[in-house]
Structure 1
Amino acid sequence: MLTKKARLWVIGIAVILLGWTISKQVYEIAAVIGLGIGLLIWGYFREGTVVMAAREFHAKNYDGAEELLKEIEDPDRLGRHRRGFYEFIYGNVELHRHNYEEAEKHFQIATRFPLRNQNDKAIVLVHLANINLRKKDYERAAAYVERAKTFKISSRVKNIVEKIESEIKKA
């Protein structure tokens, strides 16, 4: 859960410590420091800054969340669970900015990855249904709603699904 800049600082300090421990012939500690450097590099590629972006998103700091997500140069390298949250958060940021095409793209990608629970998966589908409702593509909106209803969802999401269904019936 470090930014790219913070990781580089920690790795730099660790490399200095690694050099010092090797010069003092304390190879056990050098191995631990080397392992720590490896874990920091692995975490950068597999975990990224998604968790920190999620915190910013929940605090309604959409700009901060987007900046943290932009630090991830190649989202395809993220782990499966992190990639789902990456797309979910990015979709919500784009939705907040009324950039519906980009939001839809990110939400569609998020449906392919595991999320925290079935309710989160249903929320993604509800967002897709809302976007298609705005575009007046009622068939796709209805398909997303039907798919969302197959998941175990909270009463709040169930109410949103019912509202979308009533909007589809009106059209």
Structure 2
Amino acid sequence: MFTKKARLWVIGIAILLLGWTIIQQVYEISGVIIIGIGLLIWGYFREGTVIMAARAFHAKNYDEAEVLLKEIEDPDRLGKHRRGFYEFIYGNLELHRHNYDEAEKHFQIASKFPLRNQNDKAIVLVHLANINLRKKDVERARAYVEMAKTFKISLRVKNIIEKIETEIKKA
């Protein structure tokens, strides 16, 4: 869980240490340092700053969360669990900005990836239902609600689904 800048600093220090261990002919430690550098590089592409962005988002620091998400240059390289969470957070950021088309796009992508649990998957579908209800697309909203009901969900999400269903009946 490093930012790009922090990773570069750690890799720079590790390269200096690597040079020193090679000069001292301590090749076992050199091997460990090389593995550490490899893991830092691998983590940059597969993990990114998604967890740090999630922490910032939960702390309601939306600008920092967006900066951390934008640090990920190619979200397609993220691991499938991280990619779903990336899209989930980005969708929530766009929803917070009332940018419903972008939010829908990110939530649709998030629905295709695994998330932490079934409740999170249902929340994505509830967001999609809510967005489509705002767009007056009642059939899509109903379909998303029906999909969300198939998951193991918390009482809070059940209450939200019930509210959406009453809004669908009104429309």
Question: Scaled by the length of structure 1, what TM-score is found?
Answer: 0.99
Q: In the alignment, what sits opposite 1:159?
A: 159
Query: How much has 1:133 moved relative to structure 2?
Result: 0.5
- Count of matched residue positions in the alignment of Structure 1 and Structure 2: 171
Q: In the alignment, what sits opposite 1:43?
A: 43
Using the alignment, how far apart are the partners of 2:36 and 2:56 within structure 1?
Answer: 27
Q: Which runs of 5+ in 2 are unaligned?
A: none
Instruction: Among all aligned residue pairs of Structure 1 and Structure 2, give the percentage whose two residues are the same amino acid.
Output: 86
Q: What is the identity, as a one-letter code, of the residue corresponding to 1:52?
A: M
Q: In the alignment, what sits opposite 2:145?
A: 145
Query: How much has 1:33 moved relative to structure 2?
Result: 0.4
Using the alignment, how far apart are the partners of 1:19 and 1:100 within structure 2?
Answer: 52
Alignment of 1:84-99 (within 5 A): 84-99=84-99
Query: How much has 1:143 moved relative to structure 2?
Result: 0.3
* Residue 75, structure 1, aligned to residue 49, structure 2: no
Query: How much has 1:27 moved relative to structure 2?
Result: 0.4
Query: How much has 1:31 moved relative to structure 2?
Result: 0.4
* Residue 110, structure 1, aligned to residue 114, structure 2: no
User: 1:57-86 CA distances to partner (integer Å, 9 max, x unpaired)?
Assistant: 110111111100000000000001000100
Using the alignment, how far apart are the partners of 1:79 and 1:39 within structure 2?
Answer: 14
Using the alignment, how far apart are the partners of 1:66 and 1:126 within structure 2?
Answer: 22
Q: In the alignment, what sits opposite 1:121?
A: 121
Using the alignment, how far apart are the partners of 2:50 and 2:66 within structure 1?
Answer: 10
Using the alignment, how far apart are the partners of 1:66 and 1:41 within structure 2?
Answer: 22
Using the alignment, how far apart are the partners of 1:59 and 1:19 within structure 2?
Answer: 41
Query: How much has 1:118 moved relative to structure 2?
Result: 0.4
Using the alignment, how far apart are the partners of 2:141 and 2:91 within structure 1?
Answer: 17
3-state SS of paired residue (1:48) = coil
Aligned-residue CA RMSD (Å) = 0.4
After TM superposition, the runs of 4+ consecutive aligned structure 1 residues lying more than 2 A away are none
Using the alignment, how far apart are the partners of 1:48 and 1:26 within structure 2?
Answer: 32
